[in-house]
Amino acid sequence: MQPFEFVIAIMIADLASVPMSDTGIPIFNGIIPILALLLLQLIISIINLKSMNMRKIMCGVPSILIYRGKIEEKILRKEKFTINELQERLRQNNVFNIGDVEYAILETSGQLTVIQKPEKRNTIPEDFGIVPKYEGIPYDLVIDGQIMYENLKKLEKDYNWLKKETNKFNIQPEQALIITYNGSDNFFCQAKIERRGKIV
């Protein structure tokens, strides 16, 4: 959430609480300013999309707190960031040694992005020349017994295929708590808990 979005969200919550706490104030009096704020937020978002300079003014720019392994003291002071706060944020990113950090970037949302030194980063398959098999995102096919026909269509599957797969688990699709399926043909299925002879 950008700063201006946070401010608008707080103002909307404050405006909504006024007519709710005072029955003498018509609810309509709270709706008008809320709609005005939502319109303002929409206008600012559109301007940010079209203007880079406006985006910098409204959203700010990221600040590099650690650059090539060196702490930028001037930037820390500018952002009112103490060394202890920096260490705390690093620990939240599972980095416990400040000497392992190559870059630390304070994003406009307030989050800290940490890039560790190459020798300290976790290894990935590419480091060993391995190309993992494509997986894709898992699609929900059944949630709490409800069949997601739209996702079946995206996967070019149908109910008969789904029923055939769930038969391997000795249940019907409607009896499943959750069923997911991804591009690597990984099929996950869990049945609902059965109580008193019924699936619930």
| Number of domains into which the chain is organized | 3
Structural domain of 67 = 63-120
Q: For the sheet containing 176-181, what is the strand order?
A: 146-147, 139-143, 176-181, 187-191
Residue 132 lies in a domain: no
Q: How far apart are CA 13 and CA 20, in angstroms?
A: 11
Domain limit, last residue, from 92, 120, 148: 120
Cross-strand bridge partners of residue 188: 180
Within-domain flag for 133: no
| Residue of 81, 137, 132 lying closest to 106 (CA atoms) | 81
Q: From CA 157, how far away is CA 106, in angstroms rounded?
A: 45
pLDDT of residue 200: 47
Coil, helix or strand for 109?
Answer: coil
Instruction: Note the pLDDT tens digit of each residue in 5-56.
Output: 777 788 888 877 777 777 777 777 778 888 888 888 888 888 888 888 888 7
Q: pTM of this prediction? A: 0.60
pLDDT tens digits for range 180-199:
998 778 899 999 886 544 55
Lowest mean pLDDT among 17-26, 93-102, 133-142: 17-26
Q: What is the CATH number of the domain that holds 152?
A: 3.30.240.20
Residues 6+ apart with CB under 8 A from 90: 96, 98, 101, 104, 112, 114
Task: Quote the tokens at residue 79.
Answer: 């952002």
Rounded distance between C-alpha atoms, residue 193 and residue 200, angstroms: 6
Give the residue with greater pLDDT, 75 vs 22. 75
Cβ of 78: how many Cβ atoms within 10 Å? 10
Q: Which of 59, 84, 106 is the last residue of a domain?
A: 59
Output the average pLDDT for the chain: 86
Residue 131 lies in a domain: no
Question: Are 143 and 163 in the same domain?
Answer: yes
